Amino acid sequence: MAKGRRAADGYDLYFGPVHPGSGNFGVKLTVEGERVVAARADPGYLHRGFEKLMEYRTPMQNAVLSDRLCILESLNWNLVHAEAVDRLCGTEIPERAKTIRVILAELSRIQSHIIWYGVLSKALGFDTGFKVAFGYRDYVLDLFEFVTGGRVYPAGYICPGGVRRDIPEGTKRRIVELLAKLERMIREFEAYDSKTIAVRCRGIGVLELDDALRLGATGPVLRASGLSADVRRDAPYEIYDDLDFEIPVREEGDAFARSIIRRREIEESIRIVRQALGRLTAEPLPPVKPKTAGKLPEGEVYVRNEIARGEAAVYLRSVGESHPYRCKIRGPDLLHMIPVLEHLLVGAEVADVPAIYWSLNICPADMDR
């Protein structure tokens, strides 16, 4: 993973960009002895120019593209994009479609948090945690495949106008079974804690609240530093206003606090999915058919969502053509992987770098876009 070069005043150490270790992203560390004295993020390995690509495509085509904004939680990105188009067009979404959107977005959040647990475990040398996590993740992917047709990429299942098609018969029962498995998974994670995650993560990578705000942290990273902020509650979208859930907050700001927050969030997401399932009425939902000749009305919107990693947003500007004139995508990881990570790594021990790195649950895809 690392390639060293002796420098006059210490060492340059490259953490990444080899995929299994750091995920298509690297950070160049300057090390003196065992201590990191400088860190410089090295992004760009996944830059695909999505914002520009979207200027040449219709919203329905962009819905499929929006999958790729973050491989690890593609349904959440589907939702942000779809909402931006819906609000620009003033489209009313059927209640059933909204509920399905929330169920899938929350399952996607859970799935993303499971990946995070897996890669954090892997980074700490706790291979069992990685395997257990990725085993459970497959149960969620089975469900995604059953509903959307895709395991990782749902091909724009959550699309402008609602969802591509109604959920197949038997989905509700499968989700109920899945949630029971996920509860068992949380208990397993908790049982591992005292000898694994807690030992390596407690007290390291402390992010003070002032710094979190200054550096643009959002989501679990911000909430682990003591600020209770969540777009789902502060500016509710879809049906979140009617749901009862808590926003876990911790004061410590260290890597362990961030890990506790995500585990608690899995529990809250399970609560949300159960409530949403109870609201699913029986009326059938017609499939959304792509409009090939439709035009976006002139205007602009800025739509924010709470995804697993933090605040995601889309700024959509239209001049009345079939394609958006400008689409700006705001992902949480541009902030977490550059200013926040660089700040946290300075002064850290080399051995703590992987723990700090993965405690931020980073995703290069939504940083580079």
CB of 234 to another protein, least distance (A): 5
Q: By CB under 8 A, what part of segment 176-215 binds another protein?
A: 213-215
CA–CA gap between residue 337 and residue 40 (Å, rounded)? 10
Nearer to another protein, 25 or 126 (CB): 25
Query: Helices (DSSP H) in 74-228: which residue ranges?
Result: 74-89, 95-123, 127-148, 171-193, 197-201, 209-214, 219-223
Indicate which single residue of 16, 43, 248, 354 sits in contact with another protein (rule: CB under 8 A): 43
DSSP 37-76: EEEEEE--TT---HHHHHTTS-HHHHHHHHGGG-GGGHHH
Residue burial 81-95, b: 16+ Cβ < 10 Å; e: rest: bbbbbbbbbeeebbe
CA-nearest of 141, 134, 132, 130 to 178 is 141
Under the criterion CB under 8 A, does residue 57 sit at the interface with another protein? Answer: no
Indicate which single residue of 31, 313, 344, 363 sits in contact with another protein (rule: CB under 8 A): 313
Under the criterion CB under 8 A, does residue 235 sit at the interface with another protein? Answer: yes
Q: Residue 161 CA to chain centroid, in angstroms?
A: 23
CA–CA gap between residue 256 and residue 194 (Å, rounded)? 11
Under the criterion CB under 8 A, does residue 338 sit at the interface with another protein? Answer: yes
Nearer to another protein, 139 or 315 (CB): 315
Indicate which single residue of 334, 346, 349, 350 sits in contact with another protein (rule: CB under 8 A): 334
CB 304 within 8 A of CB 191: no
Under the criterion CB under 8 A, does residue 216 sit at the interface with another protein? Answer: yes
Indicate which single residue of 33, 44, 203, 347 sits in contact with another protein (rule: CB under 8 A): 44
Under the criterion CB under 8 A, does residue 304 sit at the interface with another protein? Answer: yes
Interface residues toward another protein, by CB under 8 A: 43-44, 47, 49, 51-52, 87, 90, 213-216, 218, 227, 229, 234-235, 300-304, 311, 313, 315, 317, 325-326, 328, 330, 334-335, 338-339, 343, 368
